[in-house]
Amino acid sequence: MGSSWYRRRSTLLSIQLNYEIYTFTLSLFCTLCSCSTQRENTYEENLAICTKRLGHFPEGIDTTGLEARNTELQSEEQIRECMKGSVGPAFMVKTYRGDSVSTAPMQGKAMVLFFWSATLDDAPAYSKKSDLASFAAMNALYRKYSQSVDFLGFPFDESATIRRHLQAHPLSFPQADDNKLSGNKHMALTQNTTPYVIFINTQGRVVKIMSGGLTTEKRTIQVYSPIIKACIENSPYSE
């Protein structure tokens, strides 16, 4: 009986979250249609709106139990889905190569923003394996799509740790090295999760956001490749 009740409750929570994202999207569409000259929200503003609408616990949830964690994960996924079609993050950063680059797409190319953190020495073996798979996959995707897509990495550690990690596990594309990107901003952009990948099409629109690492390099490439192709072609992406 307990298992059946939990499944019914999970279904009801999913319906509620889907209804909220539908009503938000509809209201946003109506607003844009009624005032075409209105200033468009930034990525951060849209993220705040989606989080406010969807990032809460429904009434009756025990916020300390397993049900709360499952609801939180479901809510975070709904927020990422809510961000589809938003303008992407737009700011300048300095890189470890010494140049300044923009997070916005340039010269008709799509953009992939890869947020990551160095794997701790005492991390579980599966975590280390997943993180290294992410690095290998991102390098492979960069080699394949770099003519049509810019890649930019955002490490979330202090500089000495980042440099040591990149010496052992190099990434082929530019990595941000900018103190202006504070820890708070990094966490706000990524739901405090790494790896976290924002895929942006050539028109500067978010096509998909992926959170968390996949198990293998092959699986990561398999999942990310059609998203990148949708970014290049400015076409909708559906799983």
Residue at 239 is within a domain: no
Domain of 135, CATH number, reads 3.40.30.10
How does pLDDT run across 51-92, given as a tens digit for each residue?
A: 888 876 555 555 566 766 777 888 899 999 999 999 999 999
For residues 77 and 110, membership in a common domain is answered with no
Of 137, 151, 164, nearest to 224 by C-alpha is: 137
Task: For residues 120 and 164, state if they share a domain.
Answer: yes
Q: Has residue 50 been placed in a domain? A: yes
Around 83, how many Cα atoms within 13 Å sit in the side-chain half-sphere?
32
pLDDT at 181: 63
Mean per-residue pLDDT for 102-122?
91
Q: Give tens-digit pLDDT for 113-138.
A: 999 988 877 788 888 888 999 999 99
Query: Bigger pLDDT: 22 or 119?
Result: 119
What mean pLDDT, rounded, does the chain reach?
A: 82
Same domain, 12 and 65: yes
Same domain as 140, residue 72: no
Query: At which of 36, 55, 82 does a domain end?
Result: 82
Q: What is the count of structural domains for the chain?
A: 2
Which pLDDT value is given to residue 72?
Answer: 81
Contacts of 15 (CB under 8 A, 6+ apart): none
pLDDT at residue 38 above 90? no
Give the residue, 85 or 238, on which the prediction is more confident.
Answer: 85
Sequence-distant (6+) residues with CB within 8 A of 196 are 114, 115, 116, 189, 190, 209, 210, 211, 212
* pLDDT tens, residue by residue, 132-160: 999 999 999 999 999 999 999 999 877 78
Please tell me whether residues 208 and 98 are part of one structural domain.
yes
- 226 and 117 assigned to the same domain: yes
Instruction: Kindly state whether residues 164 and 123 are assigned to the same domain.
Output: yes
For residues 23 and 141, membership in a common domain is answered with no
Which range of residues forms the domain containing residue 43?
2-82
Are 114 and 224 within one domain?
Answer: yes
Nearest Cα neighbor of 209 from 79, 16, 54 is 79
